[in-house]
Amino acid sequence: MTTDARTPNPHAALDDPSVLIEDVVRESIVEAVPIGRTERQAEFYTLRDGEMLLNMGPQHPSTHGVLRVVLKIDGERVVDIDPVIGYLHRGVEKLCENADYHQAICYTDPLEYVSSLFCEWAPVMAFEKLLDVEVPRRAEYIRVLSTELNRVASHALTMGWFALDLGGLTPVLYSFIERDEIMEMLTALTGQKLLFNYMRIGGVNGDLNHEFMSRLGDWMSRAARHIESNQGLLNENEILVRRARGLGILDPETALRMAVTGPNLRASGVPFDVRRAHPYSVFPELDFDIPTRQEGDCLARYLLRIDEIKQSLRIIDRCLHQLPDGPVMARLPRLVRPRPGRAFAAVEGPRGMYAAYVISDGTDQPFRMRIHDPSFVHLQLVGLMTPGNLVADTMAIMASLDPVMGGVDK
């Protein structure tokens, strides 16, 4: 290897036999401690006696994507925590401003890739409000049907990951049974896997087809029993229950103050659900309950998702019974130009309130589009709930809050 004299080799010290390797390493450690830019960072990165910084992520087996968490630990106990986000930032909101209203839908799709139908629904609903479009009732029912299926798939996966983060290998693969079934179903309906791109302004892309209906009927006949038996593997497991009970308690006041929504809020005893509190689509016509739990701990958040799956199955059942005939798309021009104005639309996603706020300036492209993602809100709670617990509990708390990094970083 030739060394250019003008550009000094940064590793020259390592090659120099007269320099002790320990000295080089010690120097590099001193340099590696970041100097705090803000007051909070300065406080966080100042170590007291016996404390140690432990970096988890962005590549770590349990950070649900590319989250980086810096733990300040004293032995096994977490003293402080600093989540670092931004590793998956794609600038989706800006991209949407440079696409017309139809194209923007496929940019919002991969935000929360575990439940992408909800990511389409909120912007689509906002666009419809801007354009003042009447969506056919059959399309609304199909939207509810497909999104509730997506909710079941998402919750099934969440419960599997929760068990995996607590060290159980098997439950995640059992949870994939339901998810695979639903994914194949939705693939038959939408033509795409994972990122469905199914919602359209004024309706949905296609009507229910035979393959979807036959798969759905097949699955519905055994879904409740199947989910029940799979969850017996975990709910009756002493180790899991002992670890999750009383861990990471979120009281209702804090939850409301931190703008928590979705299952995480309902597990703390606040019966807030966008589907009932601010009804949209055909949810007023459907019969279902809002399950809540009072404990607010990891176990409650986990069990609440099972309750929600049961309610989702009920909604799907009602949808199939009440499904009206008719078109699935409103009549709209190819190029839509809404009047200048603003619109806000929120849906109840599997992780919480998923909302879109759109400003139109009268052109065929949104002037500004803002997306509210529940994962981003819930990630703040990690810093609130983790200190004082053990390193292993950090993973359990994070898994029970269930952030998806695609939605956090946008």
Partner 1 sequence: MSVVGASWQRMSLTGRILAIAVPILVAVAVLGLLGVVLAGPIVAAFLGDNVPLVRFAAAVGGILVLTIPTAFIVIYMELKVIARMNLRIGPDRVGPFGTAMSVVHGLKFVGKEDFTPTGVDVQVFTMAPVVVFLATVMTMVVIPFAPGLFGLDLNIGVLYLFAISGLTVVGLLMGGWASFNKYSLLGGLRAAAQMVSYEIPLTLSVVGVVLLAGTMSLNQIVLGQSGSFVDWYIWKQPLAFLIFFIAGTAEANRSPFDFSEADQEIVAGFATEYSGMRFGFFFFAEYVNVFVMSALIVTFFVGGWTAPIAWPWPVDLSAVDPLGLGVGLLLLIAIGPVVGTIVCAVPFWLASRFSTLQALVLGFVVFNVLAILAVMGWAFISFDWVVGLAWFFAKTYAFIFVFVWMRGSFPRVRIDQLMGLAWKWLLPAALLNIFVTASAVLILNR
Which residues bind to partner 1, rule: CB under 8 A? 14, 21-22, 25, 52-55, 60-62, 76, 163-170, 173-174, 177, 233-234, 237, 239-240, 242-243, 390-395
Cβ of residue 163: shortest distance to partner 1, in angstroms? 6
Q: What is the largest CA-CA distance in the chain?
A: 84
39 burial level (CB within 10 Å; 0-12, 13-18, 19+):
exposed
Which residue lies nearer to partner 1 by CB, 149 or 244?
A: 244
Q: Which residues are CB-contacts of 367 (< 8 A; sequence separation ≥ 6)?
A: 97, 359, 360, 361
Which residue lies nearer to partner 1 by CB, 243 or 318?
A: 243
Cβ of residue 21: shortest distance to partner 1, in angstroms? 7
Which residue lies nearer to partner 1 by CB, 258 or 391?
A: 391
Q: In this structure, are residues 128 and 135 in contact, taking their beta carbons and an 8 Å threshold?
A: yes
Task: Report d(CA 148, CA 312) in Å as an integer.
Answer: 6
Q: In this structure, are residues 161 and 179 in contact, taking their beta carbons and an 8 Å threshold?
A: no
Which residue lies nearer to partner 1 by CB, 161 or 280?
A: 161
Cβ of residue 49: shortest distance to partner 1, in angstroms? 17
Which residue lies nearer to partner 1 by CB, 53 or 88?
A: 53
Which residue lies nearer to partner 1 by CB, 170 or 294?
A: 170
Which residues are bridge partners to 81 per DSSP?
71
Task: Report d(CA 127, CA 279) in Å as an integer.
Answer: 17
Q: Which residues of 11-31 are buried (b: 16+ CB within 10 A; e: fewer)?
A: eeeeeeeeeeeeeeeeeeeee
Q: Which amino acid is at 382?
A: V
Place of tokens 């759905």: 216
Task: Report d(CA 329, CA 214) in Å as an integer.
Answer: 23
Which residue lies nearer to partner 1 by CB, 256 or 392?
A: 392
Which residue lies nearer to partner 1 by CB, 303 or 343?
A: 303
Cβ of residue 164: shortest distance to partner 1, in angstroms? 7
Cβ of residue 241: shortest distance to partner 1, in angstroms? 10
Cβ of residue 167: shortest distance to partner 1, in angstroms? 3
Place of tokens 């006041």: 253
Cβ of residue 45: shortest distance to partner 1, in angstroms? 15
Q: In this structure, are residues 227 and 178 in contact, taking their beta carbons and an 8 Å threshold?
A: yes
Q: Which residues are CB-contacts of 233 (< 8 A; sequence separation ≥ 6)?
A: 170, 171, 174
Q: In this structure, are residues 130 and 343 in contact, taking their beta carbons and an 8 Å threshold?
A: yes
Cβ of residue 216: shortest distance to partner 1, in angstroms? 22
Q: In this structure, are residues 205 and 187 in contact, taking their beta carbons and an 8 Å threshold?
A: no
Cβ of residue 143: shortest distance to partner 1, in angstroms? 32
Using DSSP, state whether 235 is helix, strand or coil: helix
33 burial level (CB within 10 Å; 0-12, 13-18, 19+):
exposed
Cβ of residue 265: shortest distance to partner 1, in angstroms? 26
Which residue lies nearer to partner 1 by CB, 122 or 159?
A: 159
Cβ of residue 56: shortest distance to partner 1, in angstroms? 8
What does 364-391 look like in DSSP terms, one character per residue?
A: SSEEEEEEE-HHHHHHHHHHHHSTTSBH
Which residue lies nearer to partner 1 by CB, 111 or 163?
A: 163
Which residue lies nearer to partner 1 by CB, 42 or 173?
A: 173
